């Protein structure tokens, strides 16, 4: 299972989200068809653009609980003080990708930052 974890500022557009996903995938030499799911943290549940992007890409969006984000935080590669303060994890995109990708998930690299959106790609064997 390949997961794109998404973090963002408030008020982003679906276009912003899709562009960040495309940029992250390109950085790893991957096509959009490699993705199984999008994931984000509970703090982004009301960020409609993430869900619109999921619909546009025909991918389900998993909202990862705060507890699961914190549990996955040890595996993150990036650190944002703002993310830590607001979401309890150093990287919403990386932690949500790891949590959604399941046990033994691995990030392909640090998150990609494109304007107001971050995207991290994780590979795992299945859902947590």
Q: What's the pLDDT band for 127 if we cut at 50, 70, 90?
A: very low
Give the residue from 28, 26, 20 showing the smallest Cα distance to 113: 20
Report yes or no on 128 lying in a domain. no
* Residues 94/5, Cβ–Cβ less than 8 Å: yes
pLDDT tens, position by position, 29-71? 999 999 999 999 999 999 999 999 999 999 999 999 999 999 9
- Chain-wide mean pLDDT for the chain? 93
**In the prediction, which pLDDT does 128 show?**
42
Mean pLDDT of 88-103: 93
Torsion of CA 40, 20, 126, 124, to 10 degrees: -120
- Which tens digits make up the pLDDT trace of 79-89? 888 888 888 88
Is residue 14 included in any domain, yes or no?
A: yes
CATH number at residue 25: 3.30.420.180
* Structural domain harbouring 86: 2-123
Distances (CA, A) of 73 to 2, 46, 47, 80, 110: 18, 22, 21, 12, 13
Query: Number of structural domains, the chain?
Result: 1
């Amino acid at each position: 299972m390949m997961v794109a974890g998404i973090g963002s500022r408030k008020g982003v557009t679906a276009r912003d989200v899709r562009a960040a996903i495309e940029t992250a995938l390109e950085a790893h030499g991957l096509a959009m068809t490699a993705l199984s799911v999008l994931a984000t943290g509970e703090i982004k549940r009301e960020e409609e653009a993430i869900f619109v992007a999921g619909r546009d890409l025909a991918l389900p969006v998993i909202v990862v609980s705060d507890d699961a984000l914190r549990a996955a935080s040890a595996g993150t590669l990036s650190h944002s003080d703002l993310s830590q303060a607001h979401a309890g994890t150093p990287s919403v995109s990386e932690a949500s990708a790891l949590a959604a990708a399941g046990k033994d998930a691995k990030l392909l690299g640090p998150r990609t930052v494109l304007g107001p959106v971050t995207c991290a790609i994780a590979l795992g064997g299945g859902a947590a």
